[in-house]
Amino acid sequence: MLNNDGHLPTPTGAFAEGRRLTEDAFASSHIVLNLKSSFLSRVFALRLRARSLLGLPIALTICATTMQPTLAESVNAPAAPAPSSATLTQALPSSPRVQQGNQQGNQIVLNGRRFTAAWSQWQSASRSIRTGISDAGLLQLTGVEFLSTNDASRQPIQWFSQPATDPIALATRLLPPIRYLDITDLAQRSGWQVQAQGTTLQITSTPAKVLSVRQGKQPWGDRIVIELDRPATWQVEQSQEFALTLDAQTDAALLQSLKFTPVNQLYPAQLESTQSQTRLRLGLPIGLRPRVWSLPNPNRLVIDVRPDATVEQSILWAPGLRWRRQTLALGNDRFPVVWLEIDPRQPGVTLRPILPNAQAVVGTAPLLQTAQQTQATAAINGGFFNRNNQLPLGAIRRDRRWLSGPILNRGAIAWNSNGSFTIGRLSLQETVTTSTGQRLPLTYLNSAYVQAGIARYTAEWGPAYTTLSDNEIVVSVQRNQVVNQQTIATAGSSPIPIPSDGYLLVLRANKTAASAFTVGATLQVETAANPPEFAQYDQIVAAGPLLVQNRQIVLNAQAERFSNAFAAELASRSAIGLTSDSKVLLVAVHNRLGGAGASLTETAQLMQQLGAINALNLDGGSSTTLYLGGQLLDRLPRTAARVHNGIGIFLQQNP
């Protein structure tokens, strides 16, 4: 639900670095550790998750490859994203060892450390065995950086390479809900040994040597540079501190010599060592997110601590699904924004509401869990809910069945499988007519929003209904005939079964109406949506308020019974929008640079900048979550709250 604990999107991308980092860049506050002696030739293994959103300590782990070092220094910065047709161009060492057979699993052991990540092996047309790792897994295990592309069949990356002169692109293999990246050639190039053992993929690389570690003060923040004799994998892990975990033994003298100087953002550090690892602990202020990236010639890992770490990105992740990231300006404020652009008219692309409980509407779960459970490829959190009883507060219609009815004339988005969408304020009017001709209005359908009157609950709510207020009169109806009437004195008492061939009427503070529902009475229910066109749509999710209609901001919080304080609050926001070319935008916005989140007016303005001609606010704050292919794109999983529902994107497998 809405609060102010959102976090900025994951910073990745390629910033221009220029020629080899000079001593000028480090000013007077720098540290150089020369580890070229044989006594100190071990691996620094850095453990630093590029997704460090909180600015809290992170663990970064560097494991190395056996690629021969290049002696020539780089004279150019990382260039623009590699062309989509880029391929591995350097000479490759001998093939890695790969166990034969087509297999899949979700465990990867990299240099003795176990990770949960999806992988797959398959036989190519040439009958060779190819190995793929999911997007999320490859980012987690190796630290590769995804570059922009318009070719969904190949994902260009930067990994100790120059995209302009040394392009690397990994073939993609879509096995919904996961996209696998073919690492076979990258493993060859890097000298990794790869072997599948049951559901576990074993990857082994030879350690590299850390040649030096430098700390520098920059105008925009702080920089740490680790120079290596060859490329090395690294992992990023968020914890209660920023810690670089190195797979190496460190000499006692070296431990004593490494003392980081507090500069712009870095606080004093502590270096620890065990028999097989070295961990560097750093302190960072809240709100700063390090960006970790690599350069070749000489091989360097660069850690930039800066407020504007988000790099613009546009990746055609699959046909009909694009992953984008950009920092947008509103006046003097800048907002990092991450969003998915969906083409609902693309064959094989469908959208559906998703819930964590397949049997009833009650229940919440992290969106990551719900997306994986429902086999959604992508998802965003959806409508509001009561966190205490875990029940929905707004419309959810799935496959033409009302799981939860609309409330308070709030904004909703509706769509059909043919790609037609609409956004507007929605209400539902129901009337029950008795055998005597008496017509009684119903308040809400399948709703946790409790008001005086008569509410209706169908089997879509679940197998049973549990009273939400004291002294409710519950009328059971089967095949349009009243079969039972009872009064439940205490809220939350024993569940009452909902007839599969009927419904329950729940009378709240309305005892006089009970006489119309005597056992044996025949009833008829009429249902009408307002506006009427909403009735033709198979799928509906409501939240609110409405942000944009026909390219104009139409925000009116009070018209949808939201408070002005709710609209003005600076918080993380989720939104969904429609563009003029019939694309669907799933958008997550967290904190502005150097400040708090977005107001609803600012959210509407950002949606306009993204090209939305119609847009709807979704549940926000700690609920704001954007998911793709096994990972969260906008925040760390441990910072995301449990949510009741979401909007899932489902893809069909490539032919």
CA distance 572 to 102: 43
pLDDT of residue 288: 66
Reported confidence tier of residue 334, pLDDT bands at 50, 70, 90: very high
Is 278 part of any domain?
yes
pLDDT of residue 530: 97
In what helix (H) or strand (E) does residue 198 lie, and over which residues does it extend? none
Is 162 part of any domain?
no
What whole-number percentage of the chain has pLDDT above 70?
78
Q: What does pTM read for this prediction?
A: 0.84
pLDDT of residue 186: 95
Residue 299 shares a structural domain with residue 215: yes
CB-based contacts of 479: which residues, under 8 Å, 6+ apart?
501, 502
CB-based contacts of 512: which residues, under 8 Å, 6+ apart?
none
Residue-wise pLDDT tens digits, 215-269: 888 888 888 888 888 888 888 776 666 776 766 556 677 667 777 776 666 665 6
Domain count, the chain: 3
Q: Which of residues 467, 502, 530 is at a domain's end? A: 530
Is 182 part of any domain?
no
| 353, pLDDT greater than 70 | yes
Q: Which of residues 464, 498, 530 is at a domain's end? A: 530
Residue 552 shares a structural domain with residue 645: yes
Residue 222 shares a structural domain with residue 296: yes
Reported confidence tier of residue 601, pLDDT bands at 50, 70, 90: very high
Residue 361 shares a structural domain with residue 419: yes
pLDDT of residue 345: 96
| 310, pLDDT greater than 80 | yes
Q: How many helices (H) and strands (E) does the chain have?
A: 6, 49
In what helix (H) or strand (E) does residue 603 lie, and over which residues does it extend? helix 600-609
Residue 443 shares a structural domain with residue 418: no
CATH of the domain at 466: 2.60.120.1140
Residue 552 shares a structural domain with residue 631: yes
Winning range, highest mean pLDDT, from 203-207, 265-269, 299-303, 454-458 = 454-458
Residue 390 shares a structural domain with residue 347: yes
Instruction: Work out the angle at residue 16's Cα, subtended by the Cα atoms of residues 13 and 20, and round it to the nearest 5 degrees.
Output: 120
CA distance 198 to 99: 10
Phi/psi for 26 (5° steps) reads -100, -5
Residue-wise pLDDT tens digits, 459-494: 999 999 999 999 999 999 999 999 999 999 999 988
pLDDT of residue 59: 42
Structure tokens at 218: 């920059």
Contact 626, 643 (CB under 8 A): no
CA distance 503 to 518: 15
Summarize the confidence of residues 117-125 as an average pLDDT: 94
pLDDT of residue 254: 67
CB-based contacts of 126: which residues, under 8 Å, 6+ apart?
none
Q: Which domain holds residue 609?
A: 321-425+536-651
Looking up tokens 């509103």 gives: 330
pLDDT of residue 50: 35
Residue 541 shares a structural domain with residue 647: yes
Contact 290, 302 (CB under 8 A): no
Residue 338 shares a structural domain with residue 414: yes
Phi/psi for 396 (5° steps) reads -140, 110
Q: Which of residues 530, 551, 585 is at a domain's end? A: 530
- The widest CA-to-CA distance across the chain, in whole angstroms, is 98
Is 646 part of any domain?
yes
Is 126 part of any domain?
no
Summarize the confidence of residues 156-163 as an average pLDDT: 94
Residue 412 shares a structural domain with residue 454: no
Is 597 part of any domain?
yes
CA distance 511 to 407: 23
Residue 402 shares a structural domain with residue 522: no
Residue 360 shares a structural domain with residue 479: no
Is 371 part of any domain?
yes
Is 238 part of any domain?
yes
In what helix (H) or strand (E) does residue 368 lie, and over which residues does it extend? helix 367-374
